[in-house]
Structure 1
C-alpha cells in the first residue's frame, strides 16, 4: 500500500483564510517606509484592513500563535519589526536573479553554467582551455 500523505496539496499559509493573508501582506507593505512597527500593530492594522474591505467580523482570524507564524513567513528577510534603516535599505534593493520555490526531490533542477578557467587535455592531446 502506497503512502499518499505527500499527494495532499498543502496551502503555503496553512489553513489561514487567503483574505487574511492578503491583509497581512498589505499591512507589511505599508510598514516598509514607516518607523519600526511591532507585530501587535501589524495584527491590528490587518484587522482594520479586513474590516474595511469585507466588513467587521466577516473574516475569522486564526489564533495569535498562527498569526505570528504567518507574520514570520511573510516577512522573511524584510526586517519588518527590526531596524527601520535596514528595512528601508533592503526594500530599495533590486530583486535578486534567483527565487525560491517549494519542490520535492527531482521536481526542480538548477544547472550552473559558469565557465571554469581550468587547463585540460583536449581531444587532440594539446593542453588548453575548453
Structure 2
C-alpha cells in the first residue's frame, strides 16, 4: 500500500495558488476585453482585474487574494496618492501625489483599503473614452 507523502496543508496552498481550473468557475465574470489580471511581488497569490470603467472617476475591480480577501465587484475611486506605495495592478512604484484609484470608503473598511492602482496602469488596459461633441 502506498501512502501519500504530501502534506494536506501544502496541497491546499498549491491548489489555491494555482487558481481555479474549472470551466464554470469564471462563467460569471465580465467580458474578457476589459479583463486584465496581474500579480505583484508583495503577494504572489494576488489577482487584480479591471471589470469596467463605471465613470471617469470610478472603476469596478475584482480582487482575489486567497490569503486575505475576495471582492468580486469592488468600486474604486480616483484620488491623489497620500503616501508612496506599489501599484496592485502593474507592480510599479507609486509616489505621493500620483493619480491613483483606491477602494471606496465604507463604514467597515475593506481588507484592501490601503491598496492603490495607478491611473496610468488602468489607462494602459482600457483608456478613458472621451466624447467628442
Greater C-alpha Rg: 1
Give TM-score, length-normalised by structure 1. Answer: 0.26
More helix by share: 1
Q: Which has the higher contact order (CA 8 A, sep 6+)?
A: 1
More strand by share: 2
